[in-house]
Chain A
Amino acid sequence: MELEDRIKILTDGAKYDVSCSSSGSNRPNTPTGLGTAALGGICHSFTADGRCISLLKMLLSNNCIYNCLYCVNRREQDIPRATLTPREMCELTIGFYKRNYIEGLFLSSAVEKTPNHSQQMLFETLYMLRTEYGFNGYIHVKAIPGADNELIRQTSLYADRMSVNIEAPSYESLRAIAPQKTREAILAPMKMLSGTTGTHLLPAPQASPILLPDGTRAEKFVSSHAADFAAFKPRLPTAITARPVIPMKEWKKSRLISIPAGQTTQMVIGATPDHDSSVLRLTQGLYNIYKLKRVYYSAYIPVGSDKLPHAPAPLLRENRLYQADWLLRFYGFTADELLDDGEDLATDTDPKTAWALGHMSFFPIEVNKASLEELLRVPGIGVKNALRILRARKTAKLTIDDLKKMRVVLKRARHFITADGKFDGYDGDNAVLRRMLALPSGKDIKAAQATIFDTQETALSVITGEL
């Protein structure tokens, strides 16, 4: 199959893995290398649906032996299948990188033949990119559930970020929608990666890529999964052409830690009957216990399976979860504060406003005296504006007018603050206030299209975290 067609198929198959960030790593260049990673990430383009393109996001293969019901690449789906070799993926990545189309690579794969086989292919691509091509741009690579932990660990040493998708908010749901992915197969690499993030010294380039924990190199790798052993053969990197391999000394100096941008994960929203409360509690646990950098939510889009809903999950629900996620990470909220067990997030208003309306005794707060934590609780005052208020009030007592000049969005905030003692909000019935602050159109809130009502503000807050 032509390269162009294979790219089309393998891009199509990868786009539902919504993570697109190239941030979190400030990997430096090397004297003979190509590329750097920018700490804040860089957006190189934007898709028709408004998402940033910063990485080349592709599958190495979409030929899957698993049958996860929400996935467009599942075994029983009748779609064209394609594969790229590690060499082809490298050439594509380097060619795009030199033209400044991308920050780096987001590499995933279907489970082709066995989990170890797919993980080995991912490993070889990264190894080739880093050592043969001297590539120092951003690499986000997936861990294949079911692959050997040691092989996953070896892969992580060449990546900036690694992720394994948790797929579902509960074990029952996982069994229902992804029967071949066991909970151990997902949690084991997550646990391992949370322990190794930021700690390991990279191995120097060497003949056999498989280094055993006791420091010796293995000809044959003894797998803990007996069934995989016969199919898995450790392979040397494919023949190296005229390009020189990076000298050992340079490699040792240049990189010291593994996956500097940490670990992330993703779950599908709306394919199962789980409530937002389960999603948020799991999210909180992943941040606190496994120290994940980010949890992503992918609203379910039907791909033809009878056993799952026929309608796509509302984009608004995904947006509200992202807003709640920002509140957990940056605004000091806990999952319990936002939702009780079995509850879903309100659709008519954002979770911060919903919390504020339910805790009016906390308000109004005085902007000239409040602490940062208190300012962050005000609907409409995001992290950026809270810090600007703290800076500006050192020089003068701020009035409502001053806040307006500073472009603090007072549409919501004014009901919850005083400025130099003055209150400019609505002082009446809570239910009336809630209606005032709700989304313009009440009809069809469950519909999938974001363009039906004015959610530009919501869509923006999902990306910037300002709410």
Chain B
Amino acid sequence: MLAYEIDNSKEGIYSAVYLSYKWKESPDIVVVKGDTFQTDFSTEVKKIETTESGSKRVENGIKERLRPDRLDELDFAHASGEEGKHTVIFKFLRLLFDKGAPAADMLHEPVVIAYNDIIFRVGHEVNRMTGFLRFKETAEGYYYAQIKPDHDVVKFLMPHFTDRYRNMQFAIHDIRRNIIGIYNTKTYKVISNPGKVEVVLSAEETEFADLWKQYYNNVSIMERKNKRLQKQFLPVRYCEMMEETYEIFDSENGSKN
């Protein structure tokens, strides 16, 4: 079995694609330093050096073969938080270069299916986050939201929220990756590892949260209670960040807390 070891970046994957063609070989998996993977006695691990020229050539080649909306999808794939994503993206790109533009439409090919799956999961989380994300008003007057997403989605959320809350200062904090997106009503920035973030809530904040909980508790039609259907749309892990459903999260994970 042949494995490529890359550094954890877009350019790393592209360099791997470039070198796999240059060396006329096809690795079985593509991993990042620190990943654990199944090995057998014949496993060979090749370290891939990220080069600008190699990765640029691959990137241009991709742009020639994928339509603009599919290029956006590739950004989603790179933002995935799944461990196997490098292999999936790598194999899709190899198919793309082997078969050309039609590769993207080969919906019956396992390689394409796997690639579309990771894109779907990231895109799905972005959509859900636009709905599930909750802001809290701080004493200083800006609005602060904390999220724990599976994938690196803060950069995809900023355009939506800066448009919607054009005249409101806010921050979206991914506490899992320690990435924060901030908006000052003129421009926005996405910052990694911002250091300690201290937030003091405003006086009215708990009042609004309570009113919302009151609303939520009264809006269900109890004669039609269907926990399974609710769970299907609202996975338990998202319940943690929403005031009105926090109890669902707490009761499911109570023993762990």
A residues with a Cβ closer than 8 A to B are 3-4, 7-8, 11-12, 15-16, 29, 31-36, 38, 42-54, 56-58, 92, 95-96, 98-101, 301, 312, 315, 388, 391-392, 394-396, 398, 402-403, 405-406, 448, 450-451, 456, 459-460
Contacts and interface: CB of A to CB of B under 8 A. Distances in A.
A48 B163 CA distance: 31
20 contacts: A4-B214, A29-B166, A31-B166, A34-B166, A36-B164, A45-B234, A46-B230, A50-B226, A51-B220, A92-B211, A95-B208, A98-B137, A98-B165, A98-B168, A388-B107, A392-B107, A395-B106, A396-B106, A406-B113, A450-B226
Contacts of A8: 214, 218
A405 B230 contact: no
Interface stretch (B7-15, B71-79, B127-135): B127-135
Nearest to A42: B131
Given A34-B165, A395-B105, A42 B130 contact: yes
A28 B110 CA distance: 40
B113 A405 contact: yes
Contacts of A301: 221, 223
Given A16-B221, A45-B234, A100-B133, 16 more contacts: A15-B218, A15-B220, A31-B166, A35-B164, A38-B160, A47-B221, A48-B225, A49-B221, A50-B233, A51-B221, A98-B137, A98-B143, A100-B145, A394-B105, A459-B226, A460-B229
A456 B227 contact: no
Contacts of B222: 48-49
Given A29-B163, A45-B216, A98-B143, A460 B131 contact: no
A49 B220 contact: yes
Contacts of B107: 388, 391-392, 406
Interface residues of B, number: 54
Contacts of B21: none
Given A47-B219, A99-B135, A100-B135, A392 B105 contact: yes
B173 interface: no
Nearest to A15: B219
Contacts of A3: 211
Nearest to B135: A99
Interface string B134-150: 11110000010100000
Contacts of A403: 108
A450 B229 CA distance: 10
Contact of A405 (B108, B133, B143): B108
Contacts, number: 156
Which of A101, A392, A398 has the most CB atoms of chain B within a 10 A radius of its CB? A101
Contact of B226 (A16, A29, A49): A49
B82 interface: no
B24 to A, nearest CB: 26
A103 to B, nearest CB: 8
Query: Across chains A and B, which 5 residue pairs bring their CB atoms closest together, nearest first?
Result: A50-B229, A402-B108, A392-B107, A49-B224, A47-B220
Interface in B219-257: 219-230, 232-234, 242, 244-245
B210 interface: yes
Contact of A43 (B131, B210, B216, B225): B131
A211 to B, nearest CB: 29
Contacts of A405: 108, 110, 113
Chain A CB within 10 Å, residue with most, of B108, B167, B232: B108
B107 to A, nearest CB: 4
Contact of B215 (A7, A52, A406, A451): A7
A399 to B, nearest CB: 8
A398 B220 contact: no
Contacts of A29: 163-164, 166
A456 B229 CA distance: 7
B226 to A, nearest CB: 5
Nearest to A10: B218
A460 B160 CA distance: 28
B102 interface: yes
Contact of B136 (A46, A99, A312): A99
